[in-house]
Amino acid sequence: MIRKIGCWIGMILLQALVLNRIHIAGVGTPLLYIWLLLKENSGTSRQVLMLEAFILGLCIDIFSDTWGMNAAAAVALAFVRPLLMRMSSVREEQEVYIPGVRTMGLGGFTRYLVVGVLLHHIVLLTLELFPTSADLSNGLLRLATCSALTLACMAALENVARQKVSRQ
């Protein structure tokens, strides 16, 4: 439990103090904090996951001044996550596991991450761009850039975690 809280605090600070200041071509920002939701234990209930998503998203919103947009997108991701896990995994539903390459296979885990990131970013960018008269091409460019950066950061985190496990 203490390790999980430490990971949350570290990820919130990383997102707020470092990643929110990265803007590739003025449009792309990696949103790595959703990795915590996507890597949550498969045995976590939907209600608990949605509450965690709301708290995590709200913390990011406070630091980013985005008025609940990250919280809404994170809750939407938490809501569909069980479906994403069933679609992407070949494991029995009764078995509890942490999503990863070892537990879901490379193809299943990649599909799980890509669909989860795209869903989160679509919800977030729709909420962000809807009130304005931003053009669709700019929105699609932001979706592609933010998703690619987020997935690249997640791949790097997975690689670091995999190397740490293999050393033990």
- pLDDT mean across residues, the chain: 92
Decide: 157 and 14 in contact? Cβ < 8 Å: no
Task: Grade residue 26 by pLDDT with cuts at 50, 70 and 90.
Answer: confident
pLDDT of the residue at 93? 64
Q: Coil, helix or strand for 133?
A: coil
Round to whole Å and give the CA distance between 63 and 16: 6
The whole-number average pLDDT for the span 3-23 is 95
pLDDT of the residue at 91? 66
Decide: 33 and 60 in contact? Cβ < 8 Å: yes
Round to whole Å and give the CA distance between 79 and 102: 24
Decide: 86 and 42 in contact? Cβ < 8 Å: no
Domain ranges of the chain: 2-167
Round to whole Å and give the CA distance between 150 and 96: 26
Round to whole Å and give the CA distance between 124 and 126: 5
Exposure string over 98-120, b if 16+ CB within 10 A, otherwise e: ebbeeebbeebbebbbebbbbbb
Amino acid in the structure at residue 9: I
pLDDT digits (tens, 9 = 90+) for 35-61: 999 999 999 999 999 999 999 999 999
pLDDT of the residue at 16? 95
pLDDT of the residue at 136? 82
Global pTM value: 0.93
pLDDT of the residue at 134? 67
pLDDT of the residue at 135? 78
pLDDT of the residue at 39? 96
Q: How far is CA 137 from CA 27, 73, 117, 142, 151, in A?
A: 12, 21, 19, 9, 21
% of the chain beyond a pLDDT of 90: 76
pLDDT digits (tens, 9 = 90+) for 73-124: 999 999 999 999 999 877 666 688 999 998 899 999 999 999 999 999 999 9
